């Protein structure tokens, strides 16, 4: 019976959906940034596979179906830009300049730190797209020969840290313009940061959403030259 369940693609799909639901429930109950559904669901899945001694290959039979959805999800990000086209038109130059600066700073800092620490090219490629949304980050990492699992971990860490400290940095550097604040949050901490931007204000949320898409495009283009 158990072998039949593990051999079914539905095992990975159901487990992923159930873990995600638990993550959402925990986040709603606690309201803590650290209790992100993505982090919680990943931890629950890993814990269950380890405790039950279930091979990753059994989970991947269904889990890999979700990976197939990354391409259409990435394309759907363009919908955010379309919905906020009026705002983007109004603040076009500052937003594009901010996203370009953020993407360059992210890529340059990763390359510099990896070189200083003597890390090989595979690790550098995996960490390079840490500040863009997961779907784009994995595509960029794979194109450069990186490790997708390590890339996802880096993206999660960047997102959680950005969501936690973005408001504090805005106060520290006296950033009061909602456009600048939202763009900075989206540029450095993608979707997880945008969730925090929604709590701060509507304009910050809109600009952060735009920044996610623009930084993903810019980072993908920069990867072509690396």
- Give per-residue pLDDT as tens, 95-113: 889 899 989 999 999 999 9
Please give the pLDDT value at position 104.
92
Please give the pLDDT value at position 77.
63
Please give the pLDDT value at position 85.
77
- Give the integer Cα–Cα distance in Å for 117 and 121: 12
- Give the integer Cα–Cα distance in Å for 205 and 195: 8
Q: Apex CA 84: angle with CA 81 and CA 88, to 5°?
A: 85
With CA atoms as reference, report the closest residue to 64 among 101, 13, 104, 22: 13
pLDDT surpassing 80 at residue 3: no
Q: What is the pLDDT of residues 172-182, one digit of tens each?
A: 888 888 888 88
Q: What is the pLDDT of residues 125-146, one digit of tens each?
A: 899 988 888 878 888 888 888 8
pLDDT surpassing 80 at residue 64: no
Please give the pLDDT value at position 5.
63
pLDDT surpassing 70 at residue 124: yes
Q: pLDDT confidence of 116, banded at 50, 70, 90?
A: very high
Radius of gyration of the chain from its Cα atoms, rounded to whole angstroms: 18
Query: Across residues 56-69, what is the average pLDDT?
Result: 71
Tell me which DSSP letter residue 132 carries: S
């Amino acid at each position: 019976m158990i072998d039949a369940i593990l051999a079914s693609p539905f095992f990975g799909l159901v487990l992923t959906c159930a873990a995600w639901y638990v993550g959402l429930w925990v986040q709603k109950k606690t309201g803590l940034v650290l209790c992100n559904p993505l982090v919680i669901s990943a931890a629950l899945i890993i814990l269950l596979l380890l405790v039950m001694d279930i091979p990753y290959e059994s989970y991947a039979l269904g889990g890999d179906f979700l990976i197939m959805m990354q391409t259409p999800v990435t394309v759907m990000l363009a919908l955010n830009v379309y919905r906020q086209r009026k705002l983007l038109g109004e603040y076009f130059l500052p937003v594009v300049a901010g996203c370009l600066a953020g993407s360059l700073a992210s890529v340059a800092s990763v390359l510099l730190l990896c070189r200083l620490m003597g890390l090989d090219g595979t690790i550098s490629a995996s960490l390079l797209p840490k500040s863009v949304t997961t779907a784009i980050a994995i595509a960029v990492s794979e194109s450069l020969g990186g490790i997708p699992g390590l890339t996802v971990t880096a993206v999660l860490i960047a997102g959680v840290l950005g969501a936690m400290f973005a408001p504090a940095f805005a106060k520290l550097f006296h950033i009061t313009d909602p456009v600048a604040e939202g763009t900075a949050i989206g540029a450095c901490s993608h979707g997880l940061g945008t969730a925090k931007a929604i709590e701060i204000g509507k304009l910050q949320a809109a600009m952060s959403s735009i920044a996610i898409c623009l930084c993903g495009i810019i980072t993908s283009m920069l990867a072509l030259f690396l």
